[in-house]
Amino acid sequence: MTAAERLDTTLFWDAARKFATGIAVVTAGSAGTAHGATVSAFTFISHEPALISVCLRQGSSMLDMVTERGSFAVNVLAGHQAQLARHFADPLRGTGTAQFRGVPWVPGLRDGVPLLIGAMCWLGCEFERRIPMGDHEFVLARVTAVTAGDGDPLLYFSGRLYSGVARLKELS
């Protein structure tokens, strides 16, 4: 038995949840075929060229849509948008445009991809490649458009959502 086979995956996931991260909703499609999914595995990869990555569950309709359509958006959620994070993480949210019922959004100017109103920033992305990694796939994308706002972020830590960073102490 290898060390990886002996690893307690429950303990591993508990440790992973100790890494504080921002929350985003990846959206793809357009008015008639829109789809969204909450992600916490999102990161900026490169400044020049502007590249980001998201990790999406293998076999998910979001992964298929991002790959087939080529364009998608990353909506970085603000501290007041915990309900949106929960909504787009809920497997019972419906499919297609039904999952956007009651969700305030506007179509992206270039491709109609849903942009969630109130998000801290929007990143318009073009799919570059995907790499299978365990039960998820690493998706690399080129950022083609960006709108950045102000405010406090929505954070995920130890299985809970937190609004903003007001109680954090800056270390010098």
Domains in the chain and their CATH numbers?
22-155 (2.30.110.10)
pLDDT in tens, 73-129: 999 999 999 999 999 999 888 887 889 999 999 999 778 999 999 999 999 999 999
- Spatial contact of 80 and 118, defined as CB atoms under 8 Å apart: yes
With b for 16 or more beta-carbon neighbours within 10 A and e for fewer, the 110-142 pattern comes to ebbbbbbeebbbbbbbebeebeeeeebbebbbe
The whole-model pTM stands at 0.88
Tell me the per-residue pLDDT of 27-86, one tens digit each, with 9 for 90 and over: 999 878 899 999 989 999 999 999 999 999 999 999 999 999 999 999 999 999 999 999
- Asked whether 27 and 36 are in contact (CB, 8 A), the reply is yes
Q: For residue 155, how many other CB atoms are within 10 A of its CB?
A: 20
- Residues of the chain with pLDDT > 70, as a percent, come to 92
Dump the DSSP string for 133-158. Answer: ETTEEEEEEEEEEEEE--SPBEEEET
In this predicted structure, what is the pLDDT of residue 131? 96
Q: Amino acid identity, residue 106?
A: V
